[in-house]
Amino acid sequence: MASPKVWFITGASAGLGRKVVEYALSKGDNVVATLRKPSMLEDLTAKYPSSRLVTFPLDVTDTPSITTAFDQAISHFNRVDVVLNNAGYYIVSETEGMPHKAAREMFDVLFWGAENVMREAIRCFRDVNRPIGGRILNVSSRNAFIPQVGTVHYASAKAALECLTEGYIAELDPEWQIKITLIEPGLFRTSMIQSRMTEPVHPAYESNPTLPSRKYRALYPDIEDTHFDGDPAKFAEVAYKLSCLDDPPIRLPLHRVALESARKKGESLLETAENWSSWSDDVYLHK
């Protein structure tokens, strides 16, 4: 019988992260759950012994604490097998109206925080695990394909994470046995919706409620009931199944909206390449 896997999960307090914690434990695996406030998982730590579940405080914008959390995980379980890179939040705002400070802070979590978690995971998989290897599941978004108006900086951070992830995949030595997948969820119903932040409407957009960002704003606060029908518990099942694949995909769009976005993006790129290919006919140095 295979040994239980050890999961390292960021953003484990609620939503997708918490559901993956619960599901991995239910399947017999061990979990290192990281979150800003470990007290939010007291019900689970009361249910499972420390030989199965440990929680560590972690703010992914604090790079040294990421290293510390991985070192603690290794000290406790001797290895880490699967990392769910999940910490995140979003802000509703016109792109033009997003304060730069708020945008940078969001990138610190969604991009730099995720990058630093990925870097530490790779170090542990290669330099600590015996046998070497491991899986990283980077939680991206369907917005990385086509940005949702009103959340464009969030989409931009996820798109940047996708490019970075593909770069890591291209550079890693296959001998290290490290597999990375971008999970691109669509509309899953989580507490992230209710915990969102909202910036004031940009003055230039105030007088016209038919503008796209104003229509998006008008969907709140009922958007959870009217649009978000993805089940986080079923997301957790898929994430677990993905972690078991010998040859996982680089990308996994998950939800009908994510699949539609992926198809539209792909069709758009192919159409552009076909329709405008002649513009590249004579742009080369001639010997």
The structure tokens listed for 199 are 């910036």
185 DSSP β-pair partners: 254
Question: Which of 9, 15, 62 has its CA nearest to residue 235?
Answer: 15
- Helix, strand, or coil here: 55? strand
**Are 243 and 252 a contacting pair, CB within 8 Å?**
no
**Are 216 and 146 a contacting pair, CB within 8 Å?**
no
For range 143-156, the mean pLDDT = 96
Residue bearing tokens 């409407």: 201
Q: Is the pLDDT of residue 257 over 80?
A: yes
The structure tokens listed for 153 are 């900086």
**According to the model, what pLDDT value does residue 2 have?**
66
The angle, 0 to 180 degrees and rounded to 10, between the axes of the packed helices 232-243 and 15-26 is 60
Cα–Cα dist 125/128, whole Å: 6
**According to the model, what pLDDT value does residue 221 have?**
81
**Are 179 and 126 a contacting pair, CB within 8 Å?**
no
**According to the model, what pLDDT value does residue 231 have?**
94
The structure tokens listed for 144 are 């990385």
**Are 41 and 31 a contacting pair, CB within 8 Å?**
no
For range 3-21, the mean pLDDT = 95
Which DSSP helix (H) or strand (E) runs through 178? strand 178-185
DSSP 97-152: G--HHHHHHHHIIIIIIHHHHHHHHHHIIIII-SS--EEEEEE--GGGTSPPTT-H
Question: Which of 20, 13, 76, 79 has its CA nearest to residue 49?
Answer: 76
Percent of the chain with pLDDT over 70: 99
Residue bearing tokens 């304060």: 99
Phi, psi (5° rounding) for residue 244?
-95, -5
Average pLDDT for the chain: 95
For range 228-252, the mean pLDDT = 96
Active site positions, annotated: 140, 154, 158
pLDDT band at 1, cuts 50/70/90?
very low
Cα–Cα dist 263/226, whole Å: 23
Report how far apart the first and last C-alpha atoms of the chain are (Å, whole number). 64
Percent of the chain with pLDDT over 90: 91
The structure tokens listed for 32 are 């290192």
DSSP letter for 138, please: E
For range 91-110, the mean pLDDT = 97
183 DSSP β-pair partners: 139, 252
List Cβ neighbours of 269 (8 Å cut-off, separation of 6 or more). none
For range 27-54, the mean pLDDT = 97
Share of the chain residues as helix, strand and coil, in percent rounded to the nearest 5: 50, 15, 35
